[in-house]
């Protein structure tokens, strides 16, 4: 097992290096001026865990002026996409000592935009106008034009007001949520050091432009694709760089995969020439998957987001992030404009409502023809064919549906942002609510991403303090960028005071050799006085081969190493050689990445939510199984080789993925395959990732999650970016997403029922008694319905205990029942007005205002029914509903917009006032009646949800298995088209078995 921190299979170390990218581990200013071992001693004593005492670097940004309320907190360049990738050659001729001027930087940024992978922000004006676009909104706009054509200017004004109000509310709420998310993006912003105006300055990496002189330093991420110029301590080599560049010996385009196959004997003129020793070494494992850091020479490209593992150098930024190698990779998964499942659901509901409203208009017109109604006259009456159409268009299409759902999602996104989860696509919330499988990383998600050394094994006759001191000597002492193994080795010395005394005896390091993949060890040549000590640590077998110990010592050493592996520990051998004598075997260090404190409980909670966790890790299978045991996750963990080279295919392969608790030794392509197979079985899958190669699988997943410390490419491909570590954040996000889903579902049920209520009542009243509610009052009913329910976004909601689904058939059945009940209730109160005593009328009243108040009250209170009774409504929702009820009551009392008394057949027996006023006692009776109607509807709603077959109606099978199709696809995957010529010389294409590629033995 490889122990190198850059090993692609070493998930812990790799994850840690990414997770700590750009963070200050400990204040290093206090170590300046100290010698190596004095600084090391102080580091051991003063180190504090950044998770318990974070000290994040803050970079000031200009605040927007108070008056510029429409601006976003983070401006994004509106650079032309057509020229974003074109970098003139003269831009790459910056002088090393001077760098670019501030003026030149501004000019270049206008042409290429900011150096980031995130997409350009939308134009705020165009986004606002977008709230007037869509099938539902088009219907309301047609209604406004129809009102204008009928000279109903009050109706025209109110309809336009409804459209404008919905657009303003939706635009403002989404902008507010976006600003909250944008304010948190600073927490994941990469920093960089550049040369500008003759001096070095620290900036955000997004502010780099092509031609900037960038300082690339050990322990930091490369902030842009940079062509290396020279070593930081040898600026005089800049002239050599310029000379070779003029001779066209370098190029600024390359593929990091090519570098893996280059050998010293391969002299390809197209590759950059190597001058002298390597300047830096970069960890490109996140791009290419290779485990070793790649040496970089003058003129070669250091790729954006890769980590510098050794050295310090100057480089010149050659392109912006979007046109860098990583940017081009990320763009491959960003090209598709996916409308998403949520958009499809909204379109389905909107289309169904449009069809229904056309049906009701047709029915109303047929009734009007029999009654010989005119098309638009009399002008002062609502009883005309065009007024019927106008009324039904207004009530039959919920103009607030797109805005309320968008607002609900936007407010939810802002809430998730406060919980350190940045939502990059609002519809991802709906996807997350329905997720039923979570594929999770082990390192940093299930585990603490902090290696710890358990009780070491000390060879017979050796001292544990001497062994720990030797292990610390055989470690990098560059405190700015310690790799995880060296870091934990050095910090463990804190537990051994005698080892610290040994380190304080005046050691001097002459030579340090980082991990060598051939020898599989790290070595350091150190001096104590006149004595020379060669210290080594590395793979147990490699360390054992160094020594000439007796067979018994070697056997005990091997047995202990095997025991550590069985228990899931990484083992690290330690040996020392004094004055070129024999190597002495000192013992073994046992390393372990412990599970997070909250992981076991969180996994139980996830399983209770109907979301089993599948662990995907690059660690060895023994370590993966041991971690699963600790977390009670299940031990059906398989080697990833079984997925591709295990001889499985079709249904058998899908069964393996569905049955497994996890896979070990995975690469990014394995993650993609696991996600794809789960989706083929009907599962909604969430996946976590952190590297560039994870981008395709993050995009493939129904909800891609970039974990804390993920690379920018992974963040750009993901739907949600987490700033907090661990699995508990994911489970919390699932609960919040389900609450948001519940708000939307309750609103949609409510809004469909409202449409059906008025359509059923108004069309039947048009046909039976040739009466309708005046169009002026109808538009206010529609306005009140939208005003009251915008507050649904802030309502208290409950989280379902299982993955949620829209279950549209169930929604329609319940909504139809509720709509019919509401229509019957309105007919009851209308029918009572034909009674000799006037029914609900106590003293005096008006049919139009009585119907208006009853419809407004029962419709407004329906939201309290559809939201369910598991939580109390929020005060925002209660205040909004009561406010609208108060306005509707005032309308009724004072007869606003009631018009004159209408004569119906049969006639009403009570006396209607000409001014439309209704007495206060009658209003109280209408309130009491409406409360009774709401109670009856609530009981019916409760009983409907208790019916088992209705509760399961529309719920999809989350484990859809189709062996015939799966096996057929697997069989087709083994075939290929072969082109050949038969004996008659005729060219033919034939199906043949695909040739199995022979794998190189590594």
Q: Which residue is it, tokens 């802030």?
A: 794
What 3-state class would DSSP assign to 535? strand
> Cα–chain-centroid distance for residue 127?
22
DSSP string, 768-804: HHS----HHHHHHHHHHHHHHHGGGGGS--PPPSS--
Question: At a CB cut-off of 8 Å and minimum separation 6, what does 490 contact?
Answer: 40, 43, 44, 472, 475, 482
Question: What are the angstrom distances between the C-alpha of 556 and each of 544, 549, 976?
Answer: 11, 11, 54
What 3-state class would DSSP assign to 654? helix
Contact in structure between 705 and 718 (CB atoms under 8 Å): yes
Task: Count the residues in the chain.
Answer: 1002
pLDDT of residue 165: 78
pLDDT at residue 902 tops 80? no
How many CA atoms within 13 Å lie on the side-chain side of 571?
25
pLDDT at residue 944 tops 90? yes
pLDDT of residue 272: 46
Pairing label, strands 662-664, 613-616 = parallel
Q: Which two tokens stand for residue 261?
A: 């196959």
Rounded to whole angstroms, the Cα distance separating 713 from 710 reads 8
- Mutual orientation of helices 401-418 and 340-370 as an angle, nearest 10°? 160
> Cα–chain-centroid distance for residue 679?
18
What 3-state class would DSSP assign to 31? helix
Instruction: Provide the pLDDT confidence category of residue 913 given band limits of 50, 70 and 90.
Output: confident
Catalytic-labelled residue, pool 11, 155, 231, 441: 441
Contact in structure between 443 and 16 (CB atoms under 8 Å): yes
Q: Which residue is it, tokens 């890769």?
A: 306
pLDDT at residue 994 tops 70? no
The 3 state secondary structure assigned to 492-503 is HHHHCHHHHHHH
* Residues 770-790, mean pLDDT to the nearest whole number: 84
pLDDT of residue 118: 62
What 3-state class would DSSP assign to 510? strand
For residues 851 and 730, which has the higher predicted lDDT (pLDDT)?
851
How many CA atoms within 13 Å lie on the side-chain side of 627?
36
Query: pLDDT tens for residues 8-46?
Result: 334 333 333 333 333 333 455 566 667 778 888 777 777
pLDDT at residue 253 tops 70? no
pLDDT of residue 634: 81
Q: Which two tokens stand for residue 94?
A: 């910056």
Instruction: For the chain, give the percent of residues with pLDDT over 90.
Output: 26
Rounded to whole angstroms, the Cα distance separating 994 from 36 reads 59
Query: pLDDT tens for residues 567-606?
Result: 778 789 999 999 888 899 999 998 888 888 888 888 898 9
Handedness of CA 398, 399, 400, 406 (dihedral sign): positive
DSSP category for residue 903: P
Contact in structure between 407 and 170 (CB atoms under 8 Å): yes
pLDDT of residue 405: 80
Residue 912 forms beta bridges with which residues?
845
Q: Which two tokens stand for residue 410?
A: 């936007």
Instruction: Provide the pLDDT confidence category of residue 653 given band limits of 50, 70 and 90.
Output: confident
Query: pLDDT tens for residues 62-72?
Result: 455 555 444 54
Q: What is the CA radius of gyration of the chain?
A: 36
Sorted by where each starts, the structural domains of the chain and their CATH numbers stand as 95-140+185-248+276-336 (2.70.150.10), 341-414+734-952 (1.20.1110.10), 422-443+599-704 (3.40.50.1000), 452-592 (3.40.1110.10), 963-993 (no CATH)
Q: What are phi and psi of 460, to 5 degrees?
A: -60, 130
> What is the side-by-side strand order in the sheet with 637-639?
421-423, 720-722, 703-706, 685-689, 437-441, 613-616, 662-664, 637-639
Alpha helix locations (H) across 833-897?
A: 847-866, 875-894
Q: Which two tokens stand for residue 702?
A: 């129904």
Omega within 30 of 0 (cis) for the link into 352? no
Q: Which two tokens stand for residue 774?
A: 């005046």
441 is catalytic: yes
Question: At a CB cut-off of 8 Å and minimum separation 6, what does 289 contact?
Answer: 8, 667, 668, 693
Rounded to whole angstroms, the Cα distance separating 57 from 786 reads 45
Predicted TM-score of the model (pTM): 0.74
pLDDT at residue 493 tops 70? yes
What 3-state class would DSSP assign to 576? strand
Alpha helix locations (H) across 895-974?
A: 920-946, 948-951, 963-973
Rounded to whole angstroms, the Cα distance separating 451 from 49 reads 12
Rounded to whole angstroms, the Cα distance separating 941 from 949 reads 15
Question: What are the angstrom distances between the C-alpha of 928 and each of 55, 861, 924, 968?
Answer: 61, 13, 6, 65
pLDDT, mean over the chain? 80
The 3 state secondary structure assigned to 252-294 is CCCCHHHHHCCCCCCCCCCCCCCCCCCCEEEECHHHHCCCCCE
What 3-state class would DSSP assign to 679? helix
Q: What are phi and psi of 704, to 5 degrees?
A: -85, 130
Q: Which two tokens stand for residue 60?
A: 């000031």
* Residues 724-746, mean pLDDT to the nearest whole number: 88
Query: pLDDT tens for residues 865-884?
Result: 999 888 999 999 999 999 99
pLDDT at residue 936 tops 90? yes
Contact in structure between 806 and 956 (CB atoms under 8 Å): no
Q: What are phi and psi of 515, to 5 degrees?
A: -55, 130
- Count of beta carbons in the 10 Å neighbourhood of residue 263: 6
Q: Which two tokens stand for residue 674?
A: 């696991």
Rounded to whole angstroms, the Cα distance separating 577 from 537 reads 12
Rounded to whole angstroms, the Cα distance separating 575 from 584 reads 5
pLDDT of residue 74: 44
pLDDT of residue 265: 40
The two most distant CA atoms of the chain are separated, in Å, by: 120
What totals of helices (H) and strands (E) does the chain contain, helices first? 34, 26
Q: Which two tokens stand for residue 962?
A: 């189709």
The kind and range of the H/E element at 696 are helix 695-700
Contacts made by residues 518-524, CB under 8 angstroms, sequence distance 24+: 520/2, 520/3, 521/546, 521/573, 522/474, 522/475, 522/486, 523/474, 524/473, 524/474, 524/475
Contacts made by residues 192-196, CB under 8 angstroms, sequence distance 24+: 192/223, 192/224, 193/217, 194/99, 195/96, 195/97, 195/98, 195/99, 195/100, 195/314, 196/99, 196/100, 196/101, 196/102, 196/105
For residues 508 and 454, which has the higher predicted lDDT (pLDDT)?
508
Query: pLDDT tens for residues 407-444?
Result: 788 888 888 888 888 887 777 888 899 999 999 888 77
Rounded to whole angstroms, the Cα distance separating 633 from 641 reads 21
For residues 827 and 602, which has the higher predicted lDDT (pLDDT)?
827
């Amino acid at each position: 097992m490889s122990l190198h921190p850059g090993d692609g299979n070493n998930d812990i170390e790799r994850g840690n290096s990414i997770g700590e990218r750009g963070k200050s581990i400990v204040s290093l200013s206090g170590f300046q001026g100290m010698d190596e071992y004095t600084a090391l001693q102080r580091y051991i004593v003063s180190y504090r865990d950044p998770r318990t005492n974070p000290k994040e670097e803050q970079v000031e940004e200009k605040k927007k002026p108070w008056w510029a309320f429409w601006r976003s907190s983070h401006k994004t360049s509106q650079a032309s996409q057509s020229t974003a990738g074109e970098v003139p050659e003269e831009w790459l001729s910056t002088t090393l000592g001077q760098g670019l001027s501030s003026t030149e930087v501004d000019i270049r940024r206008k042409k290429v935009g900011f150096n980031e992978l995130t997409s350009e922000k939308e134009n705020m004006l165009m986004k606002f106008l977008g709230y007037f676009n869509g099938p539902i909104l088009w219907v309301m706009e047609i209604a406004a034009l129809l009102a204008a054509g009928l000279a109903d200017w009050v109706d025209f004004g109110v309809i336009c007001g409804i459209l404008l109000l919905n657009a303003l509310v939706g635009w403002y709420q989404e902008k507010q949520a976006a600003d909250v998310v944008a304010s948190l993006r600073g927490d994941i912003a990469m920093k960089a050091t550049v040369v500008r105006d003759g001096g070095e300055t620290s900036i955000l990496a997004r502010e780099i432009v092509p031609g900037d002189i960038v300082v690339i330093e050990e322990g930091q991420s490369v902030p842009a694709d940079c062509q290396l110029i020279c070593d930081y301590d040898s600026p005089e080599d800049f002239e050599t760089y310029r000379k070779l560049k003029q001779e066209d010996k370098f190029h600024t385009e390359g593929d990091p995969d090519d570098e893996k196959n280059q050998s010293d004997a391969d002299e390809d003129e197209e590759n950059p020439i190597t001058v002298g020793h390597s300047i830096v070494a970069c960890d490109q494992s996140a791009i290419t998957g290779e485990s070793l850091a790649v040496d970089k020479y003058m003129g070669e490209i250091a790729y954006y987001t890769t980590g510098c593992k050794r050295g310090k150098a100057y480089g010149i930024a050659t392109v912006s992030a979007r046109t860098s190698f990583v940017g081009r990779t990320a763009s491959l998964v960003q090209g598709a404009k996916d409308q998403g499942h949520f958009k499809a659901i909204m379109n389905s509901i909107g289309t169904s409502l449009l069809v229904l409203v056309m049906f009701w208009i047709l029915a109303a017109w047929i009734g009007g023809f029999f009654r010989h109604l005119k098309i638009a006259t009399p002008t002062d009456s609502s009883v005309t064919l065009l007024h019927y159409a106008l009324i039904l268009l207004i009530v039959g299409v919920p103009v607030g549906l797109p805005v309320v759902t968008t607002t609900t999602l936007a407010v939810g996104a802002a809430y998730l942002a406060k919980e350190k989860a940045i939502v990059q696509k609002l519809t991802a919330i709906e996807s997350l609510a329905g997720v039923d499988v979570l594929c999770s990383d082990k390192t940093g998600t299930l585990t603490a991403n902090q290696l710890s050394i358990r009780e070491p094994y000390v060879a017979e006759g050796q001292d544990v303090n001497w062994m720990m001191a030797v292990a610390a000597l055989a470690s990098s002492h560059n405190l700015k960028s310690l790799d995880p193994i060296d870091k934990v080795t050095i910090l463990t010395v804190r537990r051994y005071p005698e080892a610290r005394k040994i380190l304080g005896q005046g050691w001097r390091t002459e030579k340090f050799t980082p991990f060598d993949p051939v020898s599989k060890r790290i070595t350091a040549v150190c001096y104590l006085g006149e004595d020379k000590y060669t210290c080594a640590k590395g793979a147990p077998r490699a360390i054992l081969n160094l020594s000439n110990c007796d067979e018994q010592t070697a056997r005990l050493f091997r047995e202990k190493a095997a025991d550590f592996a069985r228990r899931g520990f990484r083992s690290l051998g330690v040996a020392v050689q004094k004055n070129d004598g024999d190597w002495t075997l000192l013992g073994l260090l046992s390393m372990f990445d412990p599970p997070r404190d909250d992981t076991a409980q969180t996994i139980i909670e996830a399983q209770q939510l109907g979301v089993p966790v599948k662990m995907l890790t690059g660690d060895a299978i023994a370590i993966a199984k041991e971690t699963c045991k600790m977390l009670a996750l299940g031990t059906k963990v398989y080697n990833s080789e079984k997925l591709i080279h295990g001889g499985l295919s079709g249904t058998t392969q899908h069964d393996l993925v569905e049955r497994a608790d996890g896979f070990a030794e995975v690469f990014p392509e394995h993650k993609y395959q696991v996600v794809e197979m789960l989706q083929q079985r009907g599962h909604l899958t969430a996946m976590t990732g952190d590297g560039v190669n994870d981008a395709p699988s993050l995009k493939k997943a129904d909800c891609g999650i970039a974990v804390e410390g993920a690379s920018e490419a992974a963040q750009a491909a993901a739907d949600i970016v987490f700033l907090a570590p661990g699995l508990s954040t994911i489970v919390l996000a699932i609960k919040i997403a389900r609450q948001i889903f519940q708000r939307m579902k309750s609103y949609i049920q409510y809004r469909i029922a409202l449409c059906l209520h008025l359509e059923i009542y108004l069309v039947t009243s048009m046909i039976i008694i040739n009466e309708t509610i005046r169009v002026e009052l109808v538009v206010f009913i529609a306005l009140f319905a939208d005003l009251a329910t915008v507050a649904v976004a802030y309502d208290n909601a409950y989280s379902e205990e299982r993955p949620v689904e829209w279950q549209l058939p169930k929604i329609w059945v319940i909504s139809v029942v509720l709509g019919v009940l509401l229509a019957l209730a309105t007919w009851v109160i209308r029918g009572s007005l034909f009674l000799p005593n006037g029914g609900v009328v106590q003293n005096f009243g008006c049919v139009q205002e009585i119907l208006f108040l009853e419809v407004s009250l029962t419709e407004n209170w329906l939201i309290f029914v559809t939201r369910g009774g598991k939580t109390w409504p929020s005060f925002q929702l209660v205040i909004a509903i009561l406010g609208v009820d108060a306005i509707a009551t005032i309308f009724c009392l004072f007869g606003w917009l009631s018009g004159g008394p209408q004569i119906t057949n049969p006639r009403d027996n009570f006396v209607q006032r000409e001014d439309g006023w209704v007495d206060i006692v009658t209003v109280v009776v209408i309130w009491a009646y409406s409360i009774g109607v709401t109670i009856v509807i609530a009981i019916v709603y409760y009983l409907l949800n208790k019916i088992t077959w209705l509760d399961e109606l529309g719920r999809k099978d989350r484990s859809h298995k189709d062996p015939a199709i799966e096996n057929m696809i697997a069989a087709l995957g083994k075939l290929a088209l072969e082109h050949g010529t038969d004996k008659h010389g005729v060219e033919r294409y034939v199906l043949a078995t695909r040739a199995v590629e022979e794998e190189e033995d590594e």
